[in-house]
Amino acid sequence: MTLANSQLREYLNHLIVERGLSKNTIAAYRRDVERFISEGDVPDLTQVSGGDLEAFIARSRARGLAESSVARSVVAVRNAVEFTCKESKTLNQIKDVKPPKIKMRLPKALSISEIDSLLITAKSPGNPDAIRESAILELLYGTGARISEVVSLNVGDVIKFDGGEVSSLRLTGKGGKTRVVPVGRYAREALDQYLVRVRPGLVSKDREALFLNDRGGRLSRQSMWTIVSQTAKRANISVDVSPHSLRHSYATHLLDGGADVRVVQELLGHSSVTTTQIYTLVTIDKLRESYSSAHPRAR
C-alpha cells in the first residue's frame, strides 16, 4: 500500500468515526480520491499541488464526466488533502483551489396527475408484486424519503397509533441523523396491507428489514430503483422517473399547497433551509408562467 492510499484510509476512518457520514458518501469519497491517486500516480497527499488538481479536472472532463461530478470529485480530493496536511502539520498547497462552478439546476417534479397515474399503475391487478410495490411508491412520495432511507428501514422504525395503525416513520438520513415523519392515509393503508398480507410470507433471512425481496433478504437500492422506473414506464410517463423524482415532487407539492419552507426543511431532513429553498424557485417559476399567460399586461 502506497503512502497516499494509507493516508486516504486514515481520512475515511475519520469520516466514519468522527463525522458519521453515510456509507454511500464514504464510498463516493473513496472512489474519487482513489481515482485521483491512481490516475495522477500521487505518492503523498501532503505534496499535492494546484497543477495536480488542474490535471485531474482536465482528465475528468476528458472522460465525459458531468460538471457536477467533476466538482464533487475535486471537493473530495481537497477535503482529503486538507485533513492529511492538518494531521501532519504540513502546508496545504491546494487550499485556495476552488472546484468548478456548476449551474444550479432546478429539481424536476412530476405533476399531481402523473403521480396519480404512477401510484394507480403500481397496484394494478396484473402486477403480482402490487402490494409491495404500492407500499414502496406510496412511502417514497408520501414521506419524501431518500431511497437509501427507505431501503434501510426496519420494522422497528414503523411507529403506530395505540390502535395499531401506522402513524409515522423514523428515518435515518445523512450523517446518521434521525427524524420522524408523518405518514398520510394512502401510504398508511398501503404499508398496512404489505405488513399484514405480504411481509410475513417473505421473512426468512432478515427479520428486521421492512422491505424484503423474494428470497427473504433486504430489498436492495437497485431493486427499488427498478420498481420506480419500470412502474413509470407502465404508466406511460414520458420523462425519466427515479426515487428522487418522488422526493422532489413531495417537496414541490407541499410548497405549492402552502406549506412553510421551514416545515418542509424538517420533513426532508435538510441541514440548511437554503437547500430547501431551491424548491421555492420551482414554485415561483410556475407562478410566473401562470401570470404571463393569464394577465393582459404581462407581455
Residues involved in catalysis: 146, 174, 244, 247, 270, 279
Q: Measured in whole angstroms, how far is the alpha carbon of residue 261 from the centre of its chain?
A: 19
Cell of 174: 445523512
Locate all alpha helices (DSSP H) within the chain, ordered by sequence. Answer: 3-17, 23-39, 50-62, 67-88, 112-122, 130-143, 147-151, 185-193, 199-202, 221-234, 243-256, 261-268, 273-294
DSSP 180-246: EEE--HHHHHHHHHIIIIIHHHH-SS-SSBSSB-TTSSBPPHHHHHHHHHHHHHHTT--S---HHHH
What angle do the packed helices 23-39 and 3-17 form, to 10 degrees? Answer: 170
What letter would DSSP give residue 154? Answer: B
- Would you call 167 helix, strand, or coil by DSSP? strand
Asked if 29 and 7 count as a contact pair (C-beta separation under 8 A), the reply is no
